[in-house]
Amino acid sequence: MSYDYHSGMVRDQSVFAVVNGLPVKLNQNTGSFASIHKLYKDTINAILDVIFEDIPKITSFELVSESLMKSTVLDNGSIEITEGAVTISGTKITGDGNDVVLRFSENYSELYLCGVIQTVKVSSTGGSTYYDENFDYCTTIDAMKSAEDILKSKPASLRYDTIGISFVDMIYRKR
């Protein structure tokens, strides 16, 4: 079975205040994140197009066997094909040595690769405030864990005020 990239869709969004160095979940429509999250939902495919100008884009997946999957990646105009061992359990796909979140739709007509857009409201030691955005492939679909991971990796010179997490399904359709 082969699956080609079709589009993206925002699946879930969360907002966390940072209180005493820990994330505390808020209503997702809180403050400035209400408009940021609406923008992500309304324009996710345009946002993904911009993201994939800077990072490699997985254009397709091929399930060669029940235990082997190939992925085709477009990186700065060159195509790379990689193979990896996988385990399929129902609709969930796990890879040996690869902890990205992949799953099939219920009828196996689509394959979903999870991405996460992390938006952090930051205050620097100089007092300026700005938003720092980052995209990565999901290693978890737990928004709290994702927010905790962001706080663990933050530079000591920055103070994080609020964290927005948007989980995005990149949809691959069966050929």
- CA–CA separation, 168 and 135 (whole Å): 10
Structure tokens at 102: 């992949």
- Residue numbers of the domain that contains 150: 2-174
The pLDDT assigned to 104 comes to 95
SS3 for 131?
strand
Number of domains in the chain: 1
Which pLDDT belongs to residue 97?
63
Q: What is the pTM of this model?
A: 0.90
Q: Is 156 helix (H, G, I), strand (E, B) or coil?
A: coil
**How many of the other CB atoms lie within 10 Å of CB of 134?**
11
Residue 156 backbone class (left: φ over 0; alpha: ψ -120 to 50; beta: rest): alpha
pLDDT for position 157: 76
Cβ proximity of 54 and 68 under 8 Å: no
The pLDDT value recorded for residue 31 is: 74
pLDDT at 98: 62
pLDDT at 86: 92
DSSP code of residue 84:
E
Average pLDDT per block of 10 residues along the chain, 175 residues long:
97 94 84 87 95 93 94 93 92 79 94 95 82 90 94 84 94 97
Q: Is 61 exposed, middle or buried (0-12, 13-18, 19+ CB in 10 A)?
A: buried
d(CA 162, CA 93) in angstroms, rounded, equals: 32
| Model pLDDT, residue 126 | 75
